[in-house]
Amino acid sequence: MPKSRFIRNRGTRRKKNVIEMDITSLLDILVILLVFLIKSYDSSNVNLNVPKGIHLPLSESQSINTAGVMVQVSPTTIWVDDVVVLNSEALSEMEERNAYDMGKRRIIPLFNELVKKVDKFKEIEKAAEGAPKFSGIVNLIVDKTVKYSYVKKLMFTCAEAGFQKYKFVVRGEEQI
């Protein structure tokens, strides 16, 4: 019997079977992704750029750093907000011309840069009505091989520039 060429019969020939799909494994993957994203989500707005030469000390603390000026210190270089302020070559040249003042307790190039930052914050605070006030917080990202006497000079310099609160950035156990 030849195939029927009527329009009514065309629909019955081309019925598709419904394919049932087991989505249990797909839901498992989505739950795992969701847990991973929640675990890796950082709720702070602080962006930390640690230069290659800095090895942070370990800590068990889980507190999140707050926004502020970033002072990064390696054995050879000092950065303020990712801008090189002093390196070892300039330091050896400047020690001849006294890179330190106040009884070798204050680092002059770092002090000058921090004072510029404070002035900039206060200028923005005056110009903009809803601008956040100057917090006086400095985040110190210090290499673990830097001597304590040098860290004291850093802290003294920051205090003289107008920063009253220090936050030390360290590497947590889970970041190893």
- The DSSP bridge pattern shows strands 106-107 and 137-142 to be unpaired
Q: What does the pLDDT profile of the chain (176 residues) look like in tens digits? A: 555 566 665 555 566 677 777 888 888 999 999 988 887 776 655 556 666 666 666 655 556 566 788 888 888 888 888 888 888 766 555 554 567 777 778 888 888 899 998 898 888 888 888 777 888 888 888 888 888 888 898 899 989 988 888 888 776 655 54
Instruction: Tell me if 118 sits within 8 A of 161, measured CB to CB.
Output: yes
Neighbouring residues of 68: CB distance < 8 A, sequence distance ≥ 6: 135, 137, 138, 139, 163, 165, 167
Domain range annotation of the chain: 7-40, 58-175
- pTM, whole model, 2 decimals? 0.61
Coil, strand or helix: which one is 17? Answer: coil
